[in-house]
Amino acid sequence: MSLRLRIYIAFAVVALLPTLPVTWVVRDLLDRSFSVALSPSFQSGLEAGAEASRGWLRAERRDFQRDVAGLWPARTEPAPGGGLELLRVDADGRETVIAGEWSDERREALASAARALAPAGSAAPGGPLYPADTGREYLDAALPLGDPVTGWLLVSRPLPAGLPAAFEQVVAARQLQAGLQLERERLRRGFLRPFLLVYGLVLLLSLLLAAMMGRRFSRRVTALADGARRVGAGDWDARVPAAGRDEIARLGAAFNDMAAGLAAQQQRLADLQRLAAWREMARSLAHEIKNPLTPISLMVQEMRDRYP
């Protein structure tokens, strides 16, 4: 594996190492921010409140239906009582308030519902009718009059104070909790995209920085390797760039000093070799000169001895 590739891998690993702890921290912060609203105890409390409100509403509806059923036999001449609000509406549109206070909006809504359930002239049903969606603060019923229907007795009872508001608050809280659950999942999914985008940019910048540093580093190391090969081949003048203050620059300067020292030693060795060669040549020449002079010297000595 080349040095440059190792630098790439090292930078990529360093850039990607924080991904796991950062992801864990962000997810933990999201979970903590939603922990109270989405806790099992809070959810069970909402369920209990909703069930209590539904039970209260069912009890009120049973009591209302019992009272309305008591009006069915004598619906043509009902007697006010039981907290019921009574309104007679004839087929020709005449309205007679028997008990309670009826607003125009309630009167119109319940009368329209009664006409839709048991139109004028139709066969009378066998019991009271209970229109839906006529209001959240009242329990309503319609008792058709005559057979065929010639009018309607509208019956209404207000719910206990606070029950509709409490029930709506519980429903709103449950809806809010469901919305928070969806929002948490959406935030989790939404976190992934910018997280990958940011870390993709960080990884790209890290690889670009690694490429720049790796190219510079490998170029200087390659120069050192080439210089070492040149010196090994006998090129004592080989030098490498040594600019900078880092370790590679100091290594280059040391290499240049080493190469200069080797060149000086090689020069001294060459000088010594030349000097040794000159000495050997002088010794050989002296020996060659000395050999012919020896017999001449002996003959001169002999002649001196014979002819004093």
Is it the case that residue 113 has pLDDT exceeding 70? yes
285 or 264: which leads in pLDDT: 264
Q: What is the pTM of this model?
A: 0.43
**What average pLDDT score do residues 201-228 get?**
77
The predicted pLDDT at position 123 comes to 81
Q: Mean pLDDT for the chain?
A: 74
pLDDT tens digits, residue range 15-27? 666 666 777 766 6
Confidence category of residue 288, pLDDT binned at 50, 70, 90: low
The predicted pLDDT at position 115 comes to 81
**What average pLDDT score do residues 195-208 get?**
78
**What average pLDDT score do residues 165-173 get?**
68
The predicted pLDDT at position 134 comes to 61
**What average pLDDT score do residues 179-196 get?**
69
Q: SS3 letters for the chain?
A: CCHHHHHHHHHHHHHHCCHHHHHHHHHHHHHHHHHCCCCHHHHHHHHHHHHHHHHHHHHHHHHHHHHHHHHCCCCCCCCCCCCCEEEEEECCCCEEEEECCCCHHHHHHHHHHHHHHCCCCCCCCCCCECCCCCCCCEEEEEEEECCCCCEEEEEEEECCCCHHHHHHHHHHHHHHHHHHHHHHHHHHHHHHHHHHHHHHHHHHHHHHHHHHHHHHHHHHHHHHHHHHHHHHCCCCCCCCCCCCCCHHHHHHHHHHHHHHHHHHHHHHHHHHHHHHHHHHHHHHHHHHHHHHHHHHHHHHHHHHHHCC
Min mean pLDDT across 107-121, 244-258, 268-282 is at 244-258
The predicted pLDDT at position 90 comes to 82
pLDDT tens digits, residue range 22-49? 777 666 666 666 555 556 666 676 677 7
Is it the case that residue 77 has pLDDT exceeding 70? no
The predicted pLDDT at position 47 comes to 72
Is it the case that residue 275 has pLDDT exceeding 80? yes
The predicted pLDDT at position 41 comes to 65
Confidence category of residue 248, pLDDT binned at 50, 70, 90: confident
